[in-house]
Amino acid sequence: MSTKPTLVVALGGNALLKRGQPLEADLQQKNIELAAQQLAVLSRDWRIVLVHGNGPQVGLLALQNEAYQATSPYPLDILVAETQGMIGYLLQQALHNYLPNCSAVCVITQVLTDSDDPAYHSPNKYIGPSYQQEQLPYLDTTWQIKPDGDTFRRVVASPRPKKILETPAIARLLEDDHLVICCGGGGVPVIEQGARLQGTPAVVDKDLAAALLAEELDADALLILTDAKAVYLDWNTPQQSAISDITCQELNTITFDQGSMGPKVQACCAFVEKTQGIAAIGALDDALDILNGKQGTRIYPSHSS
């Protein structure tokens, strides 16, 4: 059994498919190879659990799903499970190529949500490709669309995760020195109906799922890797400035976009306040430097000085 500390890494969907790139398999494979290089470096000092996003990928599956008219479209929870297998396979293969002695295992993961979660009535989770204003009249009229920067994207419900159902299996795999890929796309969202589980049409925020998983595993650190170099004050203005070290108490005085950085900050604060561990946010290329305090934003419990 490894004596290395445990690190939960949340890899953003936009780190796997960069903003503006077409949804091509070969591009995703190249980006995943870059991610595997960074994870290989981190694995020297950490026992890694890897969570990944799926926003672009699940949106593409939904489009392909609706294009085939011979059957009814598959529900969103099944599409999330499909992306777990697809992205998990690509990550497993890339990690094997960069870490031949590492056993990477992908776990199809279910995440329990509350059927009464208000998020089911207020969709705000971006999925799928970006659209220009002139394309909007041609989109499915049942979709809910919201602005995303200078473009527009489909949004779906994103309930809060209550429990990671496969945590005991993930913990056992970690004990046996496997690098575990799990909670892909935030996990497959399910609700309880009596003693039965039922999939539900939503996409759980992968950062909130990663924070909950890190808490349940008693991990030492949570690292959220995205396409931003850090958390910024006055983001997207001439006055923007990167935050290096900050407490949750200080972060709670700042408003962040709930469609992008907001959930990442919330996830980090939830983890550090409950565990007194450390959490950090930054760019994939800076992964090791973020943990070493040279790049990105590190977040500490409110009582930290």
- Catalytic site residues? 13-14, 125, 206, 264
Strands 196-199 and 188-193: antiparallel
Q: One-letter amino acid identity for 138? A: Y
Which of these, 199, 204, 197, lies nearest to 156 by C-alpha position? 204
Strand order in the sheet with 178-181: 103-106, 178-181, 47-52, 6-11, 221-226, 278-283, 297-300, 245-247
Is 182:213 a contact under the CB 8 Å cutoff?
yes
Nearest partner of 142 among 81, 73, 79, judged by Cα:
73
- Distance, in Å, from the CA atom of 205 to the CA atom of 163, rounded to the nearest integer, reads 13
First-residue to last-residue Cα distance in the chain: 35
Dihedral over alpha carbons 235, 237, 238, 242 (to 10 degrees):
0
Under 8 Å CB-to-CB from 167, ≥6 apart: which residues?
A: 213, 216, 217
